[in-house]
Structure 1
Amino acid sequence: MEYMDITIAGSGVLGSQIAFQTAFKGFNVTVYDIDDEALERAKVRIRNLEQRYQEDLGALEEEVNSAYNRISFCSVLSKAVSNADLLIEAISEVVQIKVDFYKELGKVAPEKTTFVTNSSTLLPSQFAEATGRPEKFLALHFANEIWKNNTAEIMKHKETDMKVFDEVIEFAKAIGMVAIPLYKEQPGYILNTLLVPYLEAATCLVMKGIADPETVDKTWMIASGSPIGPFGAYDVIGFNTPYNALLEKEKAGDNQAAEVAEWLKTEFIDKGKFGKESGEGFYKYPNPNYMKPDFLKS
């Protein structure tokens, strides 16, 4: 099956990026969220992406305008999915919220619709039964700033139809992603399996008073040649994904992960500091210190 009409459920930071990238590559996109207020915020996010595409990709103004015009917005789920070939779920990383969503989605979506989750920390098998169509359900996970960091991790579960798995891989390629197939479930996929311990280790250095965030970033950037350190990465990714991943580790009995999660919550999340998106995290934006020309000098 060739996917042409795509619905994105959830219009937060990554949901908005997925919507615009998909429309930019020529697909018809419907963005769904729970109310018109959330959708108005999404329109602002997506409009802001137009400039990033022009700056980072050299896209023409007419190209980004055409992409935006291929996006519609809807707060009624049955209407949003009425013609969907593929639904990409990018809602809150809370199990019960996702279960309830999929139960409702399964009642109103056409039989043809394939469901994928962009969950960063949860496994598709946790929701397969709730979808009512486990053979047409799997994970499709994107990295933040997907127009530049263009990986798409496609992860099946035991009941996923291999034909559907292959179709989602082809879709990921069609929207400009490097498709990364995972044939068995792995919490955190490849990216977050590597990323979360890296961020956790960096956070522990600061929590224990060994060094401040800028010193940690400077050390990593000079020694590894990376253009960004762990705390700059936190700000780009946003705090919610690492925090939720740490909570999953806490549930498995990891006490250090629990301490790091609590520190992130009290020092940043509870204070409305979510990184680049909110204007402040470990750095202040739009001009964070790690991007200044003299940051790596002694």
Structure 2
Amino acid sequence: MKITNLTIVGSGVLGSQIAFQSAFHGYSVVLYDLNNDVLDKAKQSLKILAENFKKDLNASDEQIEATFSRISYSTDLKEAVKDADLMIEAIPENPAIKTAFYTELAPLAPEKTIFATNTSTLLPSTFAEVTRRPEKFLALHFANEIWIHNTAEIMGHETTDPEVLQNVVDFAKNIGMVALPLSKEQPGYIVNSLLVPLLDAATKLLVNGVADIETVDKAWMVATGAPVGPFGILDVVGITTAYNINKIKFEKTEDETAGKVVGFLKRNFIDQNKLGLSTGEGFYKYPNPVYRNVDFLKP
């Protein structure tokens, strides 16, 4: 099946990026969210993305204008998916929220529609049955700033149709991604299987009073040559994601350190709406975080 029409559910950081990237490469996109206030914020985010595409990809005004012409907006889920060949879900990293969403979506979408979840840590098999089309359901994970970090990890589950998986691999390539199909389910795919332990270790060092934010990031940046440290990465990923991952871990295992991390992030960041780059402040303040200062790594 040729994928032509997309529906992106969730207009947050990654949802907006997926929508813009897909429209930039010629796809017709419907961006869905719960209400117009949320979509209005997404429209502002898309304007910022447009400037990034001009700066980083040398996109022309004509390309940007054409991109916006391919994006429409909806708060009606049935209407949003009525023509969808592929639905990509980018809603909060919470199993209960995702289960409720797929329960609502399943009877509304056309039979042809492939469902893909952008979950960064959860397995597609967790939700396969509730989608009521397990053979047309898989995970499709993008990294943040997808026009630069252009990876697309494609992970099916035991009953995903191989042809469906290949269709999504082809779609990912068509929107400029380096497609990374997995041979079996793996929590965290490839990238997050490598990245999450780093971010988790950094957060534990902070919460346990071993070192402060800047010292941890300096250690990583100087020792490895990385352009950004783990707390800078967490600001881009979004502190809410780190909070939700640790909250799920604590609820499942009652791990004491995970509980401390949850409390620390809630008090100091979540409750104060310091969620990272998206809100202008997280571990650092934006648009000019101190780790980008020319003397940040000087002896």
Which residue of structure 2 lines up, in the alignment, with residue 277 of structure 1? 278
Which residue of structure 2 lines up, in the alignment, with residue 24 of structure 1? 24
Distance in 1 between residues matched to 2:256 and 2:7, nearest whole Å: 39
Whether the aligned pair in 2 keeps the contact of 1:200 and 1:257 (CA below 8 Å) is no
Which residue of structure 2 lines up, in the alignment, with residue 89 of structure 1? 89
SS in 2 for 1:271: coil
**Alpha-carbon offset, residue 6 of structure 1:** 0.4
Consecutive unaligned residues in structure 1, runs of 5 or more: none
- TM-score scaled to structure 1, two decimals? 0.97
Change (3 A) 1:172 1:29: same
After the TM superposition, which of the residue ranges 35-44 and 7-16 deviates more from structure 2? 35-44
Which residue of structure 2 lines up, in the alignment, with residue 59 of structure 1? 59
Which residue of structure 2 lines up, in the alignment, with residue 290 of structure 1? 291
Which residue of structure 2 lines up, in the alignment, with residue 267 of structure 1? 268
Which residue of structure 2 lines up, in the alignment, with residue 144 of structure 1? 144
Distance in 2 between residues matched to 1:188 and 1:261, nearest whole Å: 20
Which residue of structure 2 lines up, in the alignment, with residue 208 of structure 1? 208
Percent of aligned positions that are identical: 57
Distance in 1 between residues matched to 2:109 and 2:273, nearest whole Å: 35
1:166 aligns with 2:166: yes
Distance in 2 between residues matched to 1:157 and 1:253, nearest whole Å: 28
Whether the aligned pair in 2 keeps the contact of 1:275 and 1:281 (CA below 8 Å) is yes
**Alpha-carbon offset, residue 243 of structure 1:** 2.1
Equivalence map 1:239-254=2 (5 Å): 239-250=239-250, 251-254=252-255
Whether the aligned pair in 2 keeps the contact of 1:188 and 1:245 (CA below 8 Å) is no
Change (3 A) 1:89 1:152: same
Distance in 2 between residues matched to 1:86 and 1:123, nearest whole Å: 19
Distance in 2 between residues matched to 1:90 and 1:71, nearest whole Å: 16
Whether the aligned pair in 2 keeps the contact of 1:121 and 1:244 (CA below 8 Å) is no
Consecutive unaligned residues in structure 2, runs of 5 or more: none
Which residue of structure 2 lines up, in the alignment, with residue 154 of structure 1? 154
After the TM superposition, which of the residue ranges 23-32 and 186-195 deviates more from structure 2? 186-195
SS in 2 for 1:73: strand
C-alpha offsets along residues 58-114 of structure 1, whole Å, 9 cap, x if unaligned? 111221121111100011111111111000011122222212211221111111100
Equivalence map 1:212-223=2 (5 Å): 212-223=212-223
**Alpha-carbon offset, residue 245 of structure 1:** 2.2
- TM-score scaled to structure 2, two decimals? 0.96
Which residue of structure 1 lines up, in the alignment, with residue 226 of structure 2? 226
C-alpha offsets along residues 118-174 of structure 1, whole Å, 9 cap, x if unaligned? 011221111111111000000001111111111111111111001101111111111
Q: Structure 1 counterpart of 2:124, which letter?
A: P
Distance in 2 between residues matched to 1:152 and 1:263, nearest whole Å: 32
Which residue of structure 2 lines up, in the alignment, with residue 115 of structure 1? 115
Number of residue-to-residue matches in the alignment:
298
Q: CA RMSD in A?
A: 1.2
Whether the aligned pair in 2 keeps the contact of 1:120 and 1:241 (CA below 8 Å) is no
Distance in 2 between residues matched to 1:65 and 1:31, nearest whole Å: 17
Q: Structure 1 counterpart of 2:154, which letter?
A: I
Distance in 2 between residues matched to 1:247 and 1:193, nearest whole Å: 18
Distance in 2 between residues matched to 1:67 and 1:258, nearest whole Å: 44
